[in-house]
Structure 1
Amino acid sequence: MKRRDFVGLTGLAAGALWLPVIPGFAGDLVDPMRLLEPGLDVAAKKRLADVALNAARAAGASYADVRIGRYLNQGVFTREKQVQNIVSSESFGVGVRVIANGTWGFAATNTVTDAGIAKAAQLAVQIAKANSKVQKEQVQLAPQKGFGEVSWKAPIKINAFEVPIKDKVDLLLATNAAALSNGASFVNSVLFAVNEQKYFASTDGSYIDQDIHRIFPTFGVTVVDRGSGKFRSRSALSAPMGMGYEYLSAKAEDKVAGPQGSDVIGYKNSYDMLEDAARAAKQAKQKLTCKSVVPGKYDLVLDPHHLGLTIHESVGHPTELDRVLGYEANYAGTSFATLEWKAKGQPYGSKQVNIMADKLQPYSLGAVGWDDEGVKTKEWKIIDEGKLVDYQKIRDQALIVGQKESDGCCYSQSWQDVQFQRMPNISLKPGTSKMSVDELVKGVDKGIYIAGNGSFSIDQQRYNSQFGGQVFYAIEKGKITEMLEDVAYQTNTLEFWNSCAGSCDQSDYRLAGFFNDGKGQPSQSSAVSHGSATTRFNNVNVINTARKI
């Protein structure tokens, strides 16, 4: 697309340079065609990396790593029949992290020249030496071999930035039209695309080039009853994915039906945005007149798109070792799952709960070949048959808990931010016995089926919580009977996971995820996926969110 056409399409002309506050978007606004320009070649990156490493060692660093990063973002925003905004941004620079006098130091620069990079490396060492005057214990890194010159690329088929903006706009406006023609009063839709071009090098002897892609199509639909003034909404049941534009190819084999009678369709490795928007409008309209839930104890059957958020908050965050050790106490809380609690061997969940951490799963948001401190990524157990067996750790944390290697879950949102421990993909393993969603529902006498994630609340120790959803259906004597509204469940982490009675098999396994998970001070954002199959939880306390206390 030509620059003139791009500006004309947005309808903003001189206002095309306006940028709303969008989490995860950083850098300079650029013409979208710039996102297709090649960055530095690998040889140039290696030469610049060696400048940083040599300068750091010469200044007194015992260890150094350097990250050369080019971060590309694009967001297309629409509402009803109009384009609201199109934003393309690029950020490029270098971050240098060192250990000097047993203490961390970090500095970054967007002056990507020999002199600029050497100056950043020297500054990082100066900061480390200054910090060492108040450091009580020296940093100890788990050993890590160098990998030499290696690379990893996300297995995408279509680079989202190569798709003309007109095609993206047409898709979003067609999505809006599908919702409006099925009863929506208002609808907005968005398409986000991200490309991280990251080069890592360290004094351990690694030179790692990685090309990472993510995509997130989403929308929100609202239906208003003009007579009563009541309104109801439903958001997209899409998941952000570590894929290219092929995610929007809408393959029939990737659709997974909810239980019979629920009118819910889930999606695996492709997504039908128009179909989901049309169904969202119908369901939002149905919510206006459906029955409000009667509070009480219910067996819950939770769709993967809903369960992902509960996994994220009640397992992902409380098993981050830095949170367990109190490093996040000033910002996002601590964790009930302390080292002392783990040592007691209390069950985190029932025997059916097997939760894995990984940075490997294809198409997941967290999938990379190496993390941001040059550790080869892997899969490991967090909860095994209901017992907490491990945490999420990086190189300067492993020795604290008596382990000899990092888990490979270190990440930084950009070249100008220091890397630290971030949540890998955290997923509930599906059941090993053949089990369909209908068969899972068949065993429920009194229950509720929930799809989609809604509002939630959880305390700073990730223990007491409340979760809502997008759509709810009553289950009576093994069958879906009617849609419900105003549903949320209140529980605590141990009570919830110990109520787990089993999951559907691998055929129902799907990824949910989050594009912007915040953590740290200054805050950083990361993307993470959570996989599961539809899962049953027995005797959970359900409240009515519309009732006054």
Structure 2
Amino acid sequence: MKRRDFLQYTSLGLGAAFASNIPVFGNIVSPEQFLEPVDTRLKKQIADMVLTAAKSRGASYADVRIGRYMRQYIITREKNVESITNSESYGIGIRVLANGSWGFAATDKMDNESILKATTIAVDMAKVNAKLLSEPVKLALQKGYGEVSWKTPIEKNAFEIPIKDKVDLLLTANGIAMANGATYINNAMYLINEQKYFASTDGSYIDQDVHRIWPTFTVTKTDTKTGKFETRNSLSSPMGMGYEYLIPREQDKMKGLVTVYNKRYDMLEDVKAATLQVDEKLKAKPVEPGKYDLVLDPTNLFLTIHESVGHPTELDRVLGYEANYAGTSFLTLDKWESKKFKFGSKLVNFKADKTDPGTLGAVGYDDEGVKTKEWDIIKDGILVSYQTTRDQAHIIGLNESQGCSYAESWNSVQFQRMPNVSLEPGKSPLKPADMIKNIEKGLYMLGRNSYSIDQQRYNFQFSSQLCYEIINGKITGMVKGAAYQANTQEFWNSCTAICDKSDYRLGGSFFDGKGQPSQVSAVSHGCSTTRFNGVSVINTGRKI
């Protein structure tokens, strides 16, 4: 956008909803418009105007987020391009603290009069809210950083790659699937660029350029004789990277039952393997329910980490702030205060980290202007911390925020969102093949699939895209219908081995929902292949 266009930009529309549960908003624009930056000096002028106005109207603190959010979604099926959408949303969000209470207002009308009106509304809202307070907001101190910037360390800007090249890749993958006997294949590529400018009365002026990418597909094959069908989804992970994610390097390959990559992904190899594995799934025998030792690949385990570790350690959920929508947490404050709650075995160590390059949660600063960091959540199996924002830090005795604030858009209020939460790899050399050869009766599970978990993130079951039976240290063939059932504490206490860092890989959620009104965020979870002993497995496909 040109500077003049930026000032006069006033419309906010709703893009076509072309995929189930995928958030789409903004104006439909040409791909070329994505590459025209907004003048940082202009954003600072606007921010200073807002901060000065907010203080003059009685705010003790104020922050400004000027956001430009761009999305490119490409959807294909077999030989057809179903949809190509380029959308942009642009505006300003203003949050203030007055009389000990929060107020917020936003506008996409970027003229001075509209921006100052929104500032007034935010301050007035805070003063009205203050009359209902039982106690004032306690905001952790935060030093100002002056003028700083941060960018996702990409090698190839995915928005600069011609759409034709992206479509060709997706259709080539579809062609491979159909040539190998697939009945259907759906394929998609999701690209997001968040250009975020944050300023506050603390003295920070932070300009960030955040990129994310997610290529994915579903291959389906139908048995014409029986009418039964099976599917296999992509084993890709959404990443905080550029288009280089789709250009795999030979040295990144991890040899195994499927071809996966460490921060690289070969869609054509994965779709070829998927089509063959769907044939295996059609012929596979049903799993026999019972107790098994599980070997969980990172492509499967990341989702269990997300649901059973990431969500229950969100402090707002622990405090009951999410109870109406997403539930509470079994990891109540008394368990943390005891300093001895045995969340898992001594092998289990979880770190929160918003600095790891390539992850979905990696940024330089959160949406409260807090410089990001890493910290322990579970240490040697013991619950030691949670995830906090500036107004939560004092609750668990912290002097500063852990940098967990995020808003989906400029017109959304920032609140506590999950950082990358990852299981640390084992310290001793161990490969998946070595882990498998020591198992008498087990299952090797790969890929995320259906799951369920209760409102406190305690009782759950998870299934997989691929499941292989292990008997006396050898993989004997594929089984289907397997889902492991446990509660979070017994599951992580059954962890008996974790492969070393050479097997460490990332999974992630590209559209993780939370809050009312609902917002989505993106977060990664890393781990190595991990063993769990004596876990209950059910057959989800068996008829009663």
TM-score by length of 1: 0.95
In structure 1, the partner of 2:445 is: 450
What is the correspondence of 1:35-434 to structure 2 with a 5 Å cutoff?
A: 35-38=34-37, 40-258=38-256, 263-344=257-338, 345-434=340-429
Letter in 2 for 1:333: G
CA distance in 2, matches of 1:511, 1:464: 24
In structure 1, the partner of 2:532 is: 537
Q: Give the secondary structure class of the aligned counterpart of 1:211.
A: strand
Q: Summarize deviations over 1:342-369 as a string: whole Å, max 9, x none.
A: 2342200000000000100110000000
8 Å Cα contact 1:472/1:483 also seen in 2: yes
CA distance in 2, matches of 1:129, 1:486: 56
Letter in 1 for 2:345: S
Q: Give the secondary structure class of the aligned counterpart of 1:139.
A: coil
TM-score by length of 2: 0.96
Q: Summarize deviations over 1:170-220 as a string: whole Å, max 9, x none.
A: 000001011111121100100010000000000000000000000000000
Q: Summarize deviations over 1:131-172 as a string: whole Å, max 9, x none.
A: 111111100101100000000000001111111111111000
Shift of the alpha carbon at 1:18? 4.6
Q: Give the secondary structure class of the aligned counterpart of 1:288.
A: helix
CA distance in 2, matches of 1:334, 1:292: 35
Letter in 2 for 1:93: G
In structure 2, the partner of 1:472 is: 467
Please give the root-mean-square deviation of Cα atoms over the aligned residues, in Å: 1.0
Letter in 2 for 1:332: A
Shift of the alpha carbon at 1:76? 0.5
CA distance in 2, matches of 1:257, 1:498: 29
8 Å Cα contact 1:309/1:453 also seen in 2: yes
Gaps of 5+ in 1: 1-16
In structure 1, the partner of 2:484 is: 489
8 Å Cα contact 1:109/1:416 also seen in 2: yes
CA distance in 2, matches of 1:237, 1:357: 24
In structure 2, the partner of 1:23 is: 22
Q: Give the secondary structure class of the aligned counterpart of 1:56.
A: helix
Deviates further, 539-548 or 214-223: 539-548
CA distance in 1, matches of 2:460, 2:259: 27
Q: Summarize deviations over 1:30-61 as a string: whole Å, max 9, x none.
A: 122221222x2111111110011011111110
1:505 is the counterpart of 2:500: yes
Shift of the alpha carbon at 1:341? 2.5
Shift of the alpha carbon at 1:269? 1.4
Letter in 1 for 2:193: N
Q: Give the secondary structure class of the aligned counterpart of 1:175.
A: helix
Letter in 2 for 1:278: K
Shift of the alpha carbon at 1:113? 2.2
CA distance in 2, matches of 1:42, 1:35: 16
8 Å Cα contact 1:98/1:124 also seen in 2: yes
CA distance in 2, matches of 1:234, 1:285: 10
In structure 2, the partner of 1:8 is: none
Letter in 1 for 2:317: R
Letter in 1 for 2:26: G
CA distance in 1, matches of 2:363, 2:27: 26
8 Å Cα contact 1:19/1:87 also seen in 2: no
Letter in 2 for 1:240: P
CA distance in 1, matches of 2:91, 2:227: 51
Gaps of 5+ in 2: 1-14
Q: Summarize deviations over 1:473-499 as a string: whole Å, max 9, x none.
A: 011111111111111011000010000
In structure 1, the partner of 2:5 is: none
Letter in 2 for 1:142: A
Q: Give the secondary structure class of the aligned counterpart of 1:143.
A: coil
8 Å Cα contact 1:151/1:210 also seen in 2: yes
CA distance in 2, matches of 1:157, 1:144: 32
CA distance in 1, matches of 2:191, 2:95: 28
Quote the sequence identity (%).
61
1:435 is the counterpart of 2:427: no
Q: Summarize deviations over 1:322-341 as a string: whole Å, max 9, x none.
A: 00000000000000000012
Letter in 2 for 1:508: D
Shift of the alpha carbon at 1:115? 2.0
In structure 1, the partner of 2:31 is: 32
8 Å Cα contact 1:23/1:525 also seen in 2: no
Structure 1 pair 535/242, CA: closer, same or farther in 2 (3 Å)? same
8 Å Cα contact 1:48/1:113 also seen in 2: no
Aligned length: 528
Deviation above 3 Å: which 4+ runs of structure 1? none
Shift of the alpha carbon at 1:19? 4.3
